[in-house]
Amino acid sequence: MKNVSFKLFNDRTFSDCFINFSGHEQCEPGHSFRPAVRPCYIIHYIVSGKGKFLCDNTEYELGANKAFLIEPNAMTFYRADFEDPWHYLWIGFKGEKVAEILERMGINYKNPILSGKKENLMQITEEILSTDSSGLKEELKRQSLLFDFLSSLCPDTMYSKSISQSTELKNNNYLVRAIEFIQNNFYHSIGVNDVSSHLGISRNYLFTLFKNSMGHSPSEYLTYCKLNRACHLLDDSALSVENVAYSCGYDSLSVFSKAFKHKYGLTPSAYRKLKHENDTMSDLEFNRFIKRMDKE
């Protein structure tokens, strides 16, 4: 396989979301992109190795099975590790609906990291690179592959699992809007009252909607979103535990630590230490590991 494989496209048939370029590279030690802005959205997925990504004054230390987002006109910097440089693939895209799509995936400038083992992403990237740069047939194929790429990275959240099981959730506009509002704003220190006020419904009615369709309360879902984000920041960023708490919508470090330990059986600091000591595990394997530890 070549060190670098890259191709530009000029697709314009689909204005909502379309591909600009794609590629993959086995980087040299310390290979970096200086602080710069890009004209489109770019998602990098790390196949192996590791490196650093700096975005919004936050530094993320990333390894295999992590993906990071670069938004248009956002100042970012990233560099391959000097001892174990990353092999990553990337896809650049833009369109009128891209921001909305990414928000619904739970990824944005403030929350630019996705996790998970995605064995098929390299295959999708190679198929994109194998297409011709012109012709409607090839453009249609690339469009399909772009959505395959994004679908593969879309996390299986409590929302997506529940919506596939609940007809009421699919058809209840209030509930869908509530979930999207929480996912997009949980790091702004919002509470359940803010959600119900945004929708113009009572707190009791919101509680009933969640319990009947999702099996848990809006408060529990809000906590889930906050702590899920906290795990990623503790794992991937160099932020202090206090700054992680603030970045996840907690006004108090003690409240954050109490909520974190209640869910995971570990303090945030202990979680970070244990995660780094077991960095070869996937997120799913690690979560099972700490659950076993908690029981023991």
Alpha helix (H) residue ranges in the chain: 98-105, 121-130, 136-153, 158-165, 167-171, 173-185, 192-199, 203-214, 218-236, 241-247, 253-264, 268-277, 283-295
- Mean pLDDT of the 191-200 span: 92
What residues pair up with 5 in beta bridges, in sequence order?
24
- State the Cα–Cα distance between residues 66 and 78, nearest whole angstrom: 14
- Mean pLDDT of the 108-130 span: 87
Domain 4-153 matches domain 167-279 at the CATH topology level? no
What pTM value is reported for the model? 0.68
| Residue 1: pLDDT over 70 | no
- State the Cα–Cα distance between residues 102 and 153, nearest whole angstrom: 10
Confirm if 85 and 29 have CB atoms less than 8 A apart: yes
- State the Cα–Cα distance between residues 25 and 232, nearest whole angstrom: 25
| Residue 284: pLDDT over 60 | no
pLDDT band, very low/low/confident/very high, at 287 (cuts 50, 70, 90): low
Read off the tokens for 293: 């530890």
Q: Parse the chain into domains and list their residue ranges.
A: 4-153, 167-279
Confirm if 46 and 67 have CB atoms less than 8 A apart: yes
pLDDT digits (tens, 9 = 90+) for 146-160: 999 999 888 765 444
Between helices 203-214 and 218-236, what is the axis angle to 10°? 70
Confirm if 51 and 62 have CB atoms less than 8 A apart: yes
Q: What is the three-class DSSP state of 234?
A: helix
Confirm if 8 and 21 have CB atoms less than 8 A apart: yes
- Across the chain, mean pLDDT equals 85
pLDDT digits (tens, 9 = 90+) for 231-271: 888 888 788 999 999 989 999 999 999 999 998 888 999 99
Q: Tell which phi-psi region holds residue 219, choosing left (phi > 0), alpha (psi between -120 and 50) or beta.
A: alpha
CATH of domain 167-279: 1.10.10.60
Note the pLDDT of residue 286.
54
As separate numbers, helices (DSSP H) first and strands (DSSP E) second, the chain gives 13, 10
pLDDT digits (tens, 9 = 90+) for 168-180: 444 578 888 898 8
- State the Cα–Cα distance between residues 132 and 66, nearest whole angstrom: 29
pLDDT digits (tens, 9 = 90+) for 85-104: 999 999 999 999 999 888 87
- State the Cα–Cα distance between residues 161 and 40, nearest whole angstrom: 30
pLDDT band, very low/low/confident/very high, at 291 (cuts 50, 70, 90): low
pLDDT digits (tens, 9 = 90+) for 38-86: 889 999 999 999 999 998 888 899 999 999 999 998 889 999 999 999 9
pLDDT digits (tens, 9 = 90+) for 8-45: 998 889 999 999 999 999 999 999 987 888 889 999 99
CATH of domain 4-153: 2.60.120.280
Note the pLDDT of residue 158.
46
Q: What is the three-class DSSP state of 88?
A: strand
